[in-house]
Copies of this chain bind each other. A is one copy, B any other.
C-alpha cells in the first residue's frame, strides 16, 4: 500500500492511498479518514460508496462527512467506483465502464478481467484497511449516494451480519427496471435477469430485507427521480416492515449540496446503531 497524501482534518487524518488490487488486477485508490479517537485504539468504520462518474475523491472533499465522523469517533472509507488504468476496459458513455462499476462482479467480456467491485468492496478492501489502520472490523456501517446508494443497500442486505446499519442518499433503488441498471447489468452480468436480483435493492428488500436499521433520504426535486424509482423502494421497505426510515427532503436535488445537508443525520444514525452515542 502506498500513501498518496495525508492531511490533518478535524483533529484526525484524511488520507489517500493506493494498492495493487488482486481482485481488480489493477492499481486501486481509496480515501480513508481516521478520527482523533483512532489515536487511542481501533474505531468503527462507516463505508461511503460514491455514484456515477465519481472517484474516491468527490465525497471526501464535498460531502462534509469528516466533521461528523470526528465528533462520533468513526473512520470513513471512500473506495473508488471502478477499476481504472491502462488495459482496463471502458466505454464512451459516462454510465458504463470506468466510474460506473455498479458494485458487481462482471462475468461478461470485456469487463470480466477487472470489474469485480463487489468482491473489492466486500472482501479485499476491508481486509486491507483492517490490517493497515486501527479499525474495529466488528463495528461497520455503510452508506452511499446514487449508484453508491445502490451499492450500500445491496452490500448491506447481501452480507448479513456485516453492517450494523445501512443508509443511502438518493439510491438507484430498482436497477433491474431502470435505464440506470438494465444497460449496466446486461453488460456486466449478461441478459439472464435472474443473475441481477442480488444487485437490486427493491428485489432484495422484497425477498428478505436488511437485518438492522436503514435510513434512506431522497430529494423531492432530484433531477433523476425517474431513474432512481424511490417510490418502489419505499413501498418495499414498508411492506417488509423494515426497521428504519425513508424520507423525502423537500426541494433538494441530486447534488452534494443535498448530501452534505443530511450527512450529519446519517453519521448520527450510524453512530447510534454502532452504540457510539
A260 to B64, CA, bound (A): 8
Quick check: is A221 within 8 A (CB to CB) of the other chain? yes
A61 close to B256 (CB less than 8 A): yes
Segment at the B interface, from A7-15, A107-115, A149-157, A232-240: A7-15
Q: Does A66 contact B (CB under 8 A)?
A: yes
Q: Quick check: is A219 within 8 A (CB to CB) of the other chain?
A: yes
B64, A257: Cβ atoms under 8 Å? Answer: no
Q: Which residues of B contact A7 (CB under 8 A)?
A: 252-253, 255, 257-258
Q: What bracket does the count of chain A residues touching chain B fall in?
A: 20 to 34
Binary contact readout A157-201 vs B (1 if CB under 8 angstroms, 0 otherwise): 000000000000000000000000000000000000000000000
Whether A253 lies near B61 (C-beta < 8 A) is no
Give the number of times this chain occurs in the complex, counting copies: 2
CB distance from A235 to the nearest CB of B (A): 25
CB within 8 Å of B: which of A1-46? Answer: 7-11, 14
* Closest partner residue, chain B, to A9 (CB atom): B257
A221–B255 alpha-carbon span in the complex (Å)? 32
Across the interface, do B261 and A10 meet the contact criterion of CB distance under 8 Å?
yes
Q: Which of B61, B257, B258 contacts A62 (CB 8 A)?
A: B61
Q: How far is the CB of A60 from chain B (nearest CB, A)?
A: 9
Please indicate the chain B residues that have their CB under 8 angstroms from the CB of A67 in the complex: 64, 67, 260-261, 264
A interface residues (Cβ-Cβ under 8 A, vs B)? 7-11, 14, 61-62, 64, 66-67, 219, 221, 251-253, 255-258, 260-261, 264
Known: A64-B67, A66-B261. 15 other contacts (CB 8 A): A7-B253, A7-B255, A7-B257, A8-B252, A8-B257, A8-B258, A10-B260, A10-B261, A11-B261, A14-B257, A62-B62, A64-B260, A66-B260, A67-B67, A67-B261
